[in-house]
């Protein structure tokens, strides 16, 4: 094996597969995230003493969910306030169904390239905010009440 190829992380692929599997079984997907890992942007007031946060990522609980190879990002409400959440897949410790705990524990935080995360955050924050604004505009009905 003189020509050894560096493989990409399998964690983002497993996260997407498990997410789809949980939804296909009409369950609620939750992510357990190491909030202190590099590149993680979550509401700090909801992080536990051991540095973890559990997030409901069901389609009804988040907006603009992007499960990409280098970043997971979405908008969600925590105690009534909107937050843009950013998590590198390497910081995901587990993905499981709330109802029965079925899923996968990934274990240790995987090292990621901080440069790629920083570039991705700056370029995609505007897109996430725009999609959140568009979704808010779409919620208004085009119908009027006639008395």
Q: pLDDT for 36-49, tens place per residue?
A: 999 999 999 999 99
pLDDT of 119 reads 44
The pLDDT score that the predictor gives to residue 130 is 56
Output the pLDDT for position 108: 81
Residues in the chain: 147
For residue 5, give the DSSP letter: P
Whether 53 and 35 have beta carbons less than 8 Å apart is answered as yes
Mean model confidence pLDDT for the chain: 83
Q: What is the pLDDT of residue 146?
A: 75
Tens-place pLDDT, residues 85-123: 999 999 999 999 999 999 999 988 777 654 344 444 444
Decide if 5 contacts 90 (C-beta within 8 A): no
pLDDT in the model for residue 116: 43
Q: What is the pLDDT of residue 117?
A: 44
**pLDDT at 129 exceeding the cut of 80:** no
Could you tell me the CATH superfamily of domain 11-139? SspB-like (2.30.30.220)
pTM of the model: 0.71
Domain boundaries, the chain: 11-139
Q: What is the phi-psi region of residue 30: left when phi exceeds 0, alpha when psi lies from -120 to 50, beta otherwise?
A: beta
Asked which of 1-15, 56-70, 77-91 is least confident by mean pLDDT, the reply is 1-15
**pLDDT of 84 above 50:** yes
The pair of structure tokens assigned to 134 is 């568009």
Q: Is the pLDDT of residue 70 over 90?
A: yes
Residue 27 has pLDDT above 60, yes or no: yes
């Amino acid at each position: 094996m003189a020509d050894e190829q560096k493989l990409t992380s399998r964690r983002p692929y497993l996260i997407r597969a498990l997410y789809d599997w949980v939804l296909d079984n009409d369950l609620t997907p939750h992510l357990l995230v190491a909030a202190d890992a590099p590149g993680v942007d979550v509401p700090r007031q909801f992080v536990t003493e051991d540095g973890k946060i559990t997030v409901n990522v069901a389609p009804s609980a988040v907006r603009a969910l992007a499960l990409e190879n280098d970043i997971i990002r979405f908008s969600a409400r925590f105690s009534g306030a909107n937050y843009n959440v950013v998590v590198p897949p390497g910081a995901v410790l587990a993905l499981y169904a709330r109802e029965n705990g079925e899923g996968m524990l990934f274990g240790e935080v995987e090292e990621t390239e901080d440069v790629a995360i920083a570039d991705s955050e700056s370029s995609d924050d505007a897109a996430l905010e725009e999609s959140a604004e568009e979704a808010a505009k779409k919620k208004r009905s085009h119908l009027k009440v006639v008395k």
